[in-house]
Amino acid sequence: MAADKAKKSLRNEHSDKEKRRNDIVLVIFVLLFCLVSFSAEKLLLSGESGEAVITLDGEEILRCPLRLIRDAETEEELRAGAEVYKDGLLSFSEERVEVRTSIGYNIIEYAESGDGKAGLRCSSADCPDLVCVDQGVISSSTEAIVCLPHRLIARIEQ
């Protein structure tokens, strides 16, 4: 009987140690998962990898990497690297894309948000309300610069 109690006690100690080890493995796995998820989110949401997309009257007139607007030195360089570039509506100089139509103009430029993410902002426009200019810097795919009078939308796609 004493031998049975000793065996039972030994089994309980062994199962307690195994439970503790399993708990530690589970905690380490959860921490690693959180770290990987956080790192992936930061990488995916950084504006550097995004594309600037400008539409006019629902038609895409510019689609290019954000870094290209920042790094291009000439309009030809921007045009060559852009997936979509509508001649006649756009002009480019020094990190700025000017959209000029018969309705008016908007200047969309590369900018960095307060937390250092790459983004876009409308620095100038001749619309009556200037809501697009007051919008400030956008740096994620959940934001957009909208100019209703000029029917222009600038956004970032990841």
Query: DSSP string spanning 101-130?
Result: -SS-EEEEEEEE-TTS-EEEEEEEE--SS-
- Range with top average pLDDT, 9-13, 47-51, 132-136: 132-136
Q: Are 117 and 149 in a shared domain?
A: yes
Q: What is the mean pLDDT of residues 10-32?
A: 79
**Domain of 128: which CATH number?**
2.60.320.10
Q: Are 92 and 153 in a shared domain?
A: yes
Q: Are 73 and 149 in a shared domain?
A: yes
Tokens 């995004």 sit at which residue? Answer: 50
Residue 86: Cβ within 10 Å count? 14
Structure confidence at residue 4 as a pLDDT band (50, 70, 90): low
The phi and psi torsions of 79 (rounded to 5 degrees) equal -60, -40
Please write the tens of the pLDDT for every residue from 36-69.
876 665 555 444 569 999 999 999 999 999 999 9
Per the structure, how many domains does the chain have? 2
Q: Are 149 and 78 in a shared domain?
A: yes
Q: What is the mean pLDDT of residues 76-82?
A: 92
Q: Are 130 and 63 in a shared domain?
A: yes
Q: Are 90 and 110 in a shared domain?
A: yes
Q: Are 30 and 53 in a shared domain?
A: no
| H helix runs in 46-120, sequence order | 66-71, 75-81
141: containing domain:
47-157
pTM for this structure? 0.69
Please write the tens of the pLDDT for every residue from 94-108.
899 999 999 999 999
